[in-house]
Amino acid sequence: MPTRAPAPTFHLSYAVERAQLANGLRLVMLPDKTSSVVAVAVYYDVGMRSEPEGRTGFAHLFEHLMFQGSASLGKTEHFTYVQGSGGVLNGSTHVDYTNYYEVLPSNATELALFLEADRMRSVALTQDNLDNQVAVVQNEIRVNVQNRPYGGFPWLQIPPVLFSSFANTHDGYGSFVDLEAATLADAQSFFDRYYAPGNAVVAVAGDIDPAQVMAWVEQHFGDIPSRAVAPPPSFAEPLLTEQKRAVVEDKLAPAPAVAIAWRTPDPADLAGFLPYVVLAEVLTDGDASRLQERLLLRDRTATSIGGYLGIMGDPLDAREPTPFLLEVHHAPDVAADTVIAAVDEEIDRLVTDGLTTEEVQRTVARMVARYLREVDPVLGRATQAAVFEQQRGRAELLNELPDLLSSVTTEQVVAAAATLRRDNRAILELRPARGES
Amino acid sequence: MTTARVLPPLAKHRVAKLPTVTDTVLDNGLRVLAVRRPGVPLVELRLRVPFAAPSGKNGMPHVARATLLADTLLSGTDRRDAKQIAVDLQTLGGQLSASTDADRLGFGGSVLSAGLPGLLHLLGELLTSASYPKREVEGERDRLVQELAINRSSAGVVAREALMARMYGDHPYAVDLPTAAAVEAVRPKHLRALHDARIAPAGSVLTLVGDISPARATALVAKALAGWTAQVTPVVTPPAPPQVGRTALLIDRPGAVQTTLRFGGAAPSREDPGFASAVLANLVFGGYFSSRWVANIREDKGYTYSPHSGIDHPPAGSRLSAGADVATGVTAPALLETLYELGRMATVPVDQAELDMARRYAIGTLALGTASQAGLAGLLSQLASSGLGVQWLRDYPKALGAVTVEDVLAAGARWFSPSVLTPVFVGDTAVVADSLRTLVELETS
């Protein structure tokens, strides 16, 4: 039986409703009665790039502090109320935003909104709780970076090679010295400056009645005083004008790896940016992708290959500047330059010979399928809508993205590939350095 | 300073309708579960094939071959090569992968609804004519050897391997990952022989959940997999050995900034009348953020980032696992608190409020887990492998509702007592061994 492409019935039609409170808080609602669960996501427009010098890791530390108590809640009560209603919750810190979310049975929707409003109104901090969470974060860094092979590779290690400003290059997990230097006053001023209602988007998806949610949001968030909010700062910086290379040693890693990073165009221009998102998949998604076929199946020089946009791997949740990244793990007896040369050849071949419509279509078909799978759970929908609303003012992109991906042309992918040159990139080699501890 | 406000009460809980499962045994013996769950235009696919590992000297070669078999199942058939398979999967908007453990070979995949016939056709081709081409097998074999070296550079993997070996002795569950030497000895002929000897429809379960008509999807499966008629001699995993607390083992990781603490023991299966009590005891101990262990060694003392305990269900014997990665300098104090919290579960009744919170969490998160296509497919597939059906989604919350403080104490004494658990630690022996010895008897390696 021949394998034919399915008809492109990719258009999603989730209802999207939005509102804004007088204090500036933006609300997005995605009602869907097909399940009895709800996701609530709160996005604050501040991330690792906004940390001041001497306070690396502060945005993430502050995320931890948001679980340590607020006006009506004691330490960790946020967890006990959500989990005690049958829900799950977490928060995470990214380069341009910090999010907090709950997924719960829909009978706990108002409770979740109350809890988020309570800590948006005021965070209640003590020195004991700050000291405790500095220790917890240090253990998070130990388990995820220091005691793990390839721990910060490449997400903490390549920014200093690709970028130049403090905002873009510093370690967003934080140095232990900076973490220990953090004070309660730092936390209060960070909260005052960045956790204002006008700097946040609340998204609610799932088994909800929008009018009821609107009333609850007005009731619980409405009296949080408005505070001045500065527009998102620009972190733009010049492109590289020559190749930059660096090497890191990893005492735990048994085999080498190399990361190659270029700059993409400003993600704000979605039409100009999406061809790069497709290009990353053309190069690295599956055995039929250019680099996997070349390096894994043909040359057998690599053991794994990844290609993605954004330092943290999500192409659609970061502003300018943002990287296009290739990450190749290779055998110890293969030189990094052999891998890099093969990558260059494949990019040259793509630019010179082009690619077929069929190759782009099948690549996009799987990208669309993967995207649908991400937004099927209510949490995936709430988080996508929130970040689209916050960074692009357009939660409706949740529905439109599959069509936008499908409209990327072969010419656009080739043009994107032509900008991945040898003289405008950063290369980071990771070399094993075992037995030197 | 703002004043405290009163929390809103929970509204009436809306109980989700039980999914309707179309359950069919095909002529070839394959059981098909199909559920219509519209939402996004996708179908989730899970296939579980019995694949029990042998014990004794055949165990390690089997694990090596099974791992490589799963890694190369999609590397070619009598009609398509590896690249063509990859091209076709992308074209369908699909993904498909295979994995094995000591009990089963599993396929997991998803596809745009319109591509379901194509995905099933490919699956049938793989099941009946996977060719294990020499070049692909050799390439994947070299890659697996390197991947194993990378895995074994993680403290958590080192700890898990040692814990499984210690808990299970010569039972198949003792071997978690193959050795490099066993992998290097694998040839394509071994994979073809293993495929022919073990991959058969009888006893296998295929689960489809998504934007489908169950009747039509089942008919598509019957057509696409009609040629899968292999018959094999079933292999059954022997019962796991009874778990008794074994002496703690410390594995040296010179210079490690943390010590990896792991504990393993037995747990009741989902069918066991004491299962719901054990689940709630686990939650109270360390199974969620609002647990005693997290409150103690993370939120009070700051010794660790994410302590966690859980129950999983290998068919030959369910298992309790607990783990925390603690700063090297506080290794013994963290163990002290862990032993205290375990001992408390075994000897002191939990508070009613603590139990009720755990109960609401267990019931609520069951609903969350089945609210997506992928979540429902995964759970139905797991349940089927334990011989349980969709009715379990209704029965289990009732069982959770009936658990008392006394039940949790009994479960604590039986499953959480430090005396029935086997500890394995990975850390800097020179720094932590002496202080650990003040608390537990310790072997080192």
- Which CATH number belongs to the domain containing residue A413 in this structure? 3.30.830.10
Closest by Cβ to B368, choosing from A37, A251, A253: A37
| Cβ neighbours of A150 in B, within 8 Å | 150
Res A131: pLDDT: 97
The domain tally of chain A equals 2
Q: Given CB atoms, is B429 within the 8 Å cutoff of chain A?
A: no
A254 and A216 co-located in one domain: no
ipTM of this predicted complex? 0.95
* Residue A40 to residue A103: CA distance in whole angstroms: 6
- Is residue A9 predicted with pLDDT exceeding 90? no
Sheet containing A17-20, strands listed edge to edge, beginning at the edge strand earlier in sequence: A17-20, A26-31, A200-206, A37-44, A98-105, A88-93
Measured in whole angstroms, the distance separating CA A417 from the mean position of its chain's CA atoms is 23
Residues 201-220 of A with CB under 8 A from B: 207, 216
* Residue A41 to residue B114: CA distance in whole angstroms: 32
A191 and A340 co-located in one domain: no
Query: Does residue A420 sit in helix, strand or coil?
Result: coil
Tens digit of each residue's pLDDT (9 = 90 or more) over A81-134: 999 999 999 999 999 999 999 999 999 999 999 999 999 999 998 999 999 999
Closest by Cβ to A146, choosing from B7, B139, B257: B257
Res B17: pLDDT: 84
| Cβ neighbours of A75 in B, within 8 Å | 299
State the pLDDT confidence band at A437, using cuts at 50, 70 and 90: very low
* Cis status, amide bond into A154, omega within 30 of 0: yes
Query: Percentage of residues in chain B with pLDDT exceeding 90?
Result: 94
Res B48: pLDDT: 98
B271 and B415 co-located in one domain: yes
A23 and A154 co-located in one domain: yes
Segment B169-174 shows an average pLDDT of: 95
CA distance A282 to chain B (A): 11
Closest by Cβ to B153, choosing from A140, A254, A363: A254
First to last CA, chain A: 58
- Is residue B399 predicted with pLDDT exceeding 80? yes
A353 and A305 co-located in one domain: yes
Tokens standing for residue B250: 């410390």
B306 dihedral zone (left: phi>0; alpha: psi -120 to 50; beta): beta
B71 and B195 co-located in one domain: yes
Q: Given CB atoms, is B302 within the 8 Å cutoff of chain A?
A: yes
- Is residue A8 predicted with pLDDT exceeding 80? no
- Is residue A436 predicted with pLDDT exceeding 60? no
A142 and A195 co-located in one domain: yes
Closest by Cβ to A376, choosing from B39, B306, B362: B39
| Cβ neighbours of A251 in B, within 8 Å | 255
A231 located within any domain: no
Q: Where is the domain boundary, A162, A187, A221?
A: A221
Q: Given CB atoms, is A130 within the 8 Å cutoff of chain B?
A: no
Does A34 sit within 8 Å of B38, measured CB to CB? yes
* Cis status, amide bond into B239, omega within 30 of 0: no
A210 and A250 co-located in one domain: no
Q: Given CB atoms, is B303 within the 8 Å cutoff of chain A?
A: yes
| Cβ neighbours of B365 in A, within 8 Å | 86-88
Measured in whole angstroms, the distance separating CA A406 from the mean position of its chain's CA atoms is 22
B306 and B342 co-located in one domain: yes
Q: Given CB atoms, is B122 within the 8 Å cutoff of chain A?
A: yes
B42 located within any domain: yes
Query: Does residue A426 sit in helix, strand or coil?
Result: strand
B297 located within any domain: yes
Does A131 sit within 8 Å of B302, measured CB to CB? yes
| Cβ neighbours of A114 in B, within 8 Å | 5, 7-8
Q: CB of A255 within 8 A of CB of A330?
A: yes
Does B360 sit within 8 Å of A12, measured CB to CB? no
A135 and A100 co-located in one domain: yes
Q: Given CB atoms, is B305 within the 8 Å cutoff of chain A?
A: yes
Those residues with Cβ within 8 angstroms of residue A359's Cβ, 6 or more apart along the chain or in another chain: A282, A410
More confident residue, A125 or B23: B23
* Residue B442 to residue A103: CA distance in whole angstroms: 43
A202 and A302 co-located in one domain: no
B369 located within any domain: yes
B234 located within any domain: no
| Cβ neighbours of B14 in A, within 8 Å | 36, 105-107, 207
State the pLDDT confidence band at A6, using cuts at 50, 70 and 90: very low
A232 located within any domain: no
Q: CB of B281 within 8 A of CB of B345?
A: yes
Q: Where is the domain boundary, A173, A189, A221?
A: A221
What is the span of the domain harbouring residue A159? 17-221
- Is residue B74 predicted with pLDDT exceeding 80? yes
Rg (alpha carbons) of chain A, rounded to whole number: 23
CA distance A235 to chain B (A): 31
CA distance B238 to chain A (A): 35
B218 and B255 co-located in one domain: no
B277 and B400 co-located in one domain: yes
A203 and A255 co-located in one domain: no
| Cβ neighbours of A221 in B, within 8 Å | none
Res A5: pLDDT: 46
- Is residue A435 predicted with pLDDT exceeding 80? no
Res B337: pLDDT: 98
Predicted TM-score (pTM) of the model is 0.96
Q: Where is the domain boundary, B190, B224, B258?
A: B224
- Is residue B16 predicted with pLDDT exceeding 90? no
CA distance A30 to chain B (A): 13
Smallest CA–CA distance from A372 into chain B, residue: B40
Tokens standing for residue A393: 């003012």
Q: CB of B118 within 8 A of CB of A313?
A: no
Residue B197 burial (CB count, 10 A)? 12
Q: Given CB atoms, is B57 within the 8 Å cutoff of chain A?
A: no
Q: Given CB atoms, is A245 within the 8 Å cutoff of chain B?
A: no
Q: Given CB atoms, is B134 within the 8 Å cutoff of chain A?
A: no
Tens digit of each residue's pLDDT (9 = 90 or more) over B217-270: 999 999 999 999 999 999 989 999 999 999 999 999 999 999 999 999 999 999
| Cβ neighbours of A285 in B, within 8 Å | 90
**Average pLDDT across chain A, whole number:** 95
Residue B332 burial (CB count, 10 A)? 19
State the pLDDT confidence band at A10, using cuts at 50, 70 and 90: low
CA distance B375 to chain A (A): 9
Segment B141-152 shows an average pLDDT of: 96
First to last CA, chain B: 56
B82 and B27 co-located in one domain: yes
Helices (runs of H) and strands (runs of E) counted in chain B: 16, 12
B322 and B381 co-located in one domain: yes
Tens digit of each residue's pLDDT (9 = 90 or more) over A282-314: 999 999 999 999 999 999 999 999 999 999 999
B268 and B196 co-located in one domain: no
A65 and A200 co-located in one domain: yes
Those residues with Cβ within 8 angstroms of residue A23's Cβ, 6 or more apart along the chain or in another chain: A197, A198, A221, A222, A224, A225, A226
CA distance A108 to chain B (A): 5
**Average pLDDT across chain B, whole number:** 96
Q: Given CB atoms, is B226 within the 8 Å cutoff of chain A?
A: no
B242 located within any domain: no
Q: CB of B367 within 8 A of CB of A105?
A: yes
Q: Given CB atoms, is A185 within the 8 Å cutoff of chain B?
A: no
B62 and B135 co-located in one domain: yes
State the pLDDT confidence band at A391, using cuts at 50, 70 and 90: very high
Res A7: pLDDT: 45
Q: List beta partners, residue B85.
A: none
A426 and A338 co-located in one domain: yes
B150 and B38 co-located in one domain: yes
| Cβ neighbours of A401 in B, within 8 Å | none
CA distance A172 to chain B (A): 17
Tens digit of each residue's pLDDT (9 = 90 or more) over A414-426: 999 999 999 999 9
* Residue A151 to residue A145: CA distance in whole angstroms: 4
Tens digit of each residue's pLDDT (9 = 90 or more) over A330-361: 999 999 999 999 999 999 999 999 999 999 99
Number of A/B CB contacts below 8 angstroms equals 262
Res B14: pLDDT: 76
Task: List the CATH number of the domain containing B369.
Answer: 3.30.830.10
Does A253 sit within 8 Å of B150, measured CB to CB? yes
CA distance A261 to chain B (A): 23
The domain tally of chain B equals 2
- Is residue B161 predicted with pLDDT exceeding 80? yes
Q: Where is the domain boundary, A169, A187, A221?
A: A221
Does A366 sit within 8 Å of B357, measured CB to CB? no
Tens digit of each residue's pLDDT (9 = 90 or more) over B33-69: 999 999 899 999 999 999 999 988 899 999 999 999 9
Tell me which DSSP letter residue A148 carries.
Answer: S
B178 located within any domain: yes
| Cβ neighbours of A107 in B, within 8 Å | 10-14
Q: Where is the domain boundary, B192, B224, B256?
A: B224
CA distance B150 to chain A (A): 6
B98 and B204 co-located in one domain: yes
> Of how many residues is chain B composed?
445
Those residues with Cβ within 8 angstroms of residue A53's Cβ, 6 or more apart along the chain or in another chain: A166, A170
Q: CB of A188 within 8 A of CB of A16?
A: no
What is the span of the domain harbouring residue B414? 248-444
Tokens standing for residue B184: 């290097």
Res B13: pLDDT: 81
Tokens standing for residue B365: 């998160």
Does B8 sit within 8 Å of A255, measured CB to CB? no
Ranges A190-194, A321-325, B258-262, B383-387: which has the least confidence: B383-387
Tens digit of each residue's pLDDT (9 = 90 or more) over B299-347: 999 999 999 999 999 999 999 999 999 999 999 999 999 999 999 999 9
B201 located within any domain: yes
Those residues with Cβ within 8 angstroms of residue A337's Cβ, 6 or more apart along the chain or in another chain: none
Q: Given CB atoms, is A377 within the 8 Å cutoff of chain B?
A: yes
A234 located within any domain: no
B216 located within any domain: yes
A392 and A299 co-located in one domain: yes
B263 and B310 co-located in one domain: yes
Q: Given CB atoms, is B300 within the 8 Å cutoff of chain A?
A: yes
